[in-house]
Chain A
């Protein structure tokens, strides 16, 4: 199985900050990497798929990039509604494993 790691585990930020979350896989693969946002008590929400394609309706401040085996989710300017936990997921091969999550909370 492909194991996914995320860094940092958590971070504290303020509204307006630029936030970067990194996801790394135990095996290299192309661009089958997805990002989800989950708020407490709610189902996750897909933000980005295929590493860098934003789902329709997702604010443009969210972006995804890939560099080698490192996948990055960037929030260019944090909004109040962005405080949440973010998960990456690989969808290259089953089982479609998730990373452990990165929690973004208020500084």
Chain B
């Protein structure tokens, strides 16, 4: 199984400042079809997760452009250019290249300082 490792697990941020979350996979996430199936999700307290980014860097409809995804192979990053209050919650990376199983990172809790 592909193990997904996120860091940090806790990220206190100042409003308006940038934030960055790392996600590393134990194996390359490049699929034989040439795509890299790495997703990012955001879960606010008491809510269902919401997909933010798919295939490394594609933002979902309605996701602010302050969110961006990057990376390749085994190293991936989610960046928030200017953190807003609504960005608090837990962020998860997830791979869909080598399945089953689909595997998630442990989650990174973002909170406002």
Chain B binds chain A: no
B contacts, CB < 8 Å to A? none
Residues of A within 8 A of B (CB): none
